Amino acid sequence: MRSFTNVQDDEEKRPYNDDGNGDDNGNNDVSVGGCVKIGTPPFFIINKYYYICVGYIMNNTNPNGMRIKNIIISAMLALLANSSIDAQERNIFIGNALNRTNICLNGKWEYVLDPFRTESMGNTQIYRNAVPRDKSDRVEYSFNPAQTLWVPGSWNTQKPELMYYESNIWYRRLFDKPDLDDSKRYFVYVGAANYLSTVTFNGKRLGRHEGGFTPFCYEVTDLMKKEGNFLIIGVDGGRRADRIPAEVADWFNHGGITRDVLLVETPKTFVSNYYIALDKSTLNSKVRKINGTLLLSGKDMPQTARVQIPELKIEKSVSVGTDGKTDFTLDAKRLQLWSPENPKLYDVRIIAGSDTISDLIGFRTIETKGKQILLNGEPVFLKGICLHDENPLRRTRANSIEDARLVIGWAKELGCNFLRLAHYPHQENLVRLAEKEGILLWEELPLYWGIQWHSPKVLEKAKQQFKELIDRDYNRASSIIWSIANETAVVPDRNKFLSELADYVRSLDSTRLLSAACKKDQGRDGHPDAVYTYNDPIMQKLDIISLNEYLGWYGGSPAECRDKTFKMGLEKPVIVSEFGGGALQGLHGDKETVWSEEFQAYIYEESIAMFDKIDGLSGMTPWILCDFMSPLRQLHQVQDGWNRKGLISEKGMKKQAFYVLKKYYESK
């Protein structure tokens, strides 16, 4: 029988914990968040050529003045050639890319490893796609014949030798476009690549994108050829102190191009994105209002665009000014609201010149009143579960509609109407399927352990990642909560950072609620207190107080749940955003035997009973639906690289706790 008397500090028992001081020892990547045009960081380019030149000079055992001079001149010329791209606006966000005319570039891509991140080998940049001109020519890398990786996919789980690889890989995709059309524009769209991507096309650098979970695009119109196009993307999968996430996280760092890659084709002037939502102040009106913003890209402006919702007999002309942007309002009579019980979606069409884009959009409101969350004006209890964006059966990143169906099927069987998409933006397929299936969503950024809160650069990265997520999912009725951080220590730099981020997110989107998974005040004291209090200052900025609490697993015993009460300083709804414990599916013992299914079920029983008494409890998302890959979990024969807190094993087998939670949700 296990004794719990010697269990000390819950926080200290974790494999790693946020001390609130992200170390400042990361390298200084030049790109500051998001799509960065090449040329934005001139020092990087100059440094790189300097490095190549100096490297050559230093290493050349037979120095030849002329040769070195030529190399320097050609490097400077290459620098000038590159900077001519700087002037061009290449990166632009394209919303709803999956539903546009496109060529899917998924499949087998050739690759070259670049473990030292030199970007060039034998003095030739890898993105030049060089091949020896003749038998005496020397090129020190090759895509032909090359090794291949599937895109989308995590490189780690495709080849044993790449399992823990975290440096650079250059991917290449060749394609022809025989029907190349001069009246069109072309964009490379990447659903996500983890973490830092250098995008090049037909030998030109287009830019760098930072952030492993959000989409980005670059325009390639004037570089396209009918034959022999080569798209080369270098992906650096490294963890760094100045990245988001930072160096240590309790999930597997799946590197590479992990989501779809498309070549999107648009008219010269086209609808690049739109933001459409029900105006919550008109919820109870007979004629409700739908607010929208439309963004056009191209030269054909000003012009008139049309917005249609045929099923509601809505057709509205809107004038778009020279800035390519306009706001509009639609009057909607007899609008059916979107809800989990009735996930009604309307076909919304936007027509601008020769461009037509359509999307299935649901209309709902979400707000709080006192300690309640109101969906369409009615209190809702969020019966949720946390999720990582992995398919445990395939043991890799999720990246398809089938992967999304698998987890949504399990969540529905559990009785859920809500998912917490932890700890970073999940694949768009999942968000869209959730909308069709009536599942509400919490979405978040990896603002997790060890973030450099003091760094303005890191704050910019966080803003950029949020912007990209909102650009992608603003129109999704399923998505109701933006969470700005997970379990971060309350220190002044972090409070300032998160406060500014909260304001920023609200300035982009006022149609959703804000939350963050917070810690109790009794941080490092184990579990002696009978009353848990919550006074994290960031809660002032949030709509919902969310808390992670592992009493019974990280310290304390499940039985102690009976003695605890919770005291929130604020009149706001509460979500228990994490609780749980680990169990190896198939391992049985009595309810005090750690790692047994019985022990996990016991934690669930006691925790649920404890949390259910919280005044203002509006939902819970226990940790977690499925066992997930984590390098922090190495207990042999129990974990073997898996965090075992799932209710379902990596083989798809349900553990006892699954049924404990299901029973509770059936009763709610």
Binding region for ligand GCB (CB under 6 A): 14, 250, 423, 486-487, 548, 578, 623, 643, 645
Nearest 5°: the CA angle 297, 275, 471 is 75
3-state secondary structure of 576: strand
Those residues whose C-beta lies under 8 Å from the C-beta of residue 341, and which sit 6 or more positions away, are 438
In this complex, which beta carbon is closest to ligand GCB, that of residue 418 or of residue 623? 623
| CB closer to ligand GCB out of 308 and 585 | 585
Q: Which is nearer to ligand GCB, 280 or 423 (CB)?
A: 423
The residue whose Cβ lies closest to ligand GCB is: 250
User: CB-wise, 67 or 524, nearer to ligand GCB?
Assistant: 524
Q: Looking at residue 654, what DSSP letter applies? A: B
Q: Which of 610, 600, 587, 612 is nearest to 646 (CA)?
A: 600
Task: Give the H or E element holding residue 359.
Answer: strand 355-361
Instruction: Select 306 or 524, whichever has its Cβ closest to ligand GCB.
Output: 524
Q: How far is the CB of 13 from ligand GCB (least distance, A)?
A: 9
CB of 409 to ligand GCB, least distance (A): 23
Structure tokens at 108: 């087998």
**According to the 3-state scheme, what is the secondary structure of 140-206?**
CCCCCCCEEEEECCCCCCCCHHHCCCCCEEEEEEEECCCCCCCCEEEEEEECCEECEEEEEECCEEE
The residues, ordered by sequence, that sit 6+ positions from 322 with a Cβ below 8 Å of its Cβ are: 301, 302
- Least Å distance, CB 653 to ligand GCB, is 19
Return the number of the residue (314 or 441) whose C-beta is nearest ligand GCB. 441
Instruction: Compare residues 96 and 548 and give the one whose CB is closer to ligand GCB.
Output: 548
- Amino acid identity at 507: S
The least CB distance from residue 599 to ligand GCB, in Å, is 15
Least separation in angstroms between residue 63's CB and ligand GCB is 54
Q: How far is the C-alpha of 180 from the C-alpha of 262, rounded, in Å?
A: 15
**Cα(582)–Cα(567) distance, integer angstroms:** 27
Among residues 355 and 627, whose Cβ is nearest to ligand GCB?
627
Which C-beta is closer to ligand GCB: that of 157 or that of 486? 486
User: Nearest approach, Cβ of 643 to ligand GCB (angstroms)?
Assistant: 5
Nearer to ligand GCB, 250 or 443 (CB): 250
Do the Cβ atoms of 418 and 576 come closer than 8 Å? Answer: no
Q: What is the distance between the alpha carbons of residues 481 and 513, in angstroms, rounded to a whole number?
A: 5
Q: Least CB distance from residue 15 to ligand GCB, whole Å?
A: 8
CB 443 within 8 A of CB 404: no
Helix, strand, coil abundance in the chain, percent, nearest 5: 25, 30, 45
Contact at 8 Å (CB) between 212 and 192?
yes
Closest approach, Cβ 621 to ligand GCB, in A, equals 11
Host H or E run for residue 581: none
Considering the complex, what minimum distance in angstroms separates the CB of residue 598 from ligand GCB? 19
| Rounded least distance, CB 141 to ligand GCB, Å | 38
In the Cβ-directed half-sphere of 317, how many Cα atoms lie within 13 Å?
Answer: 4
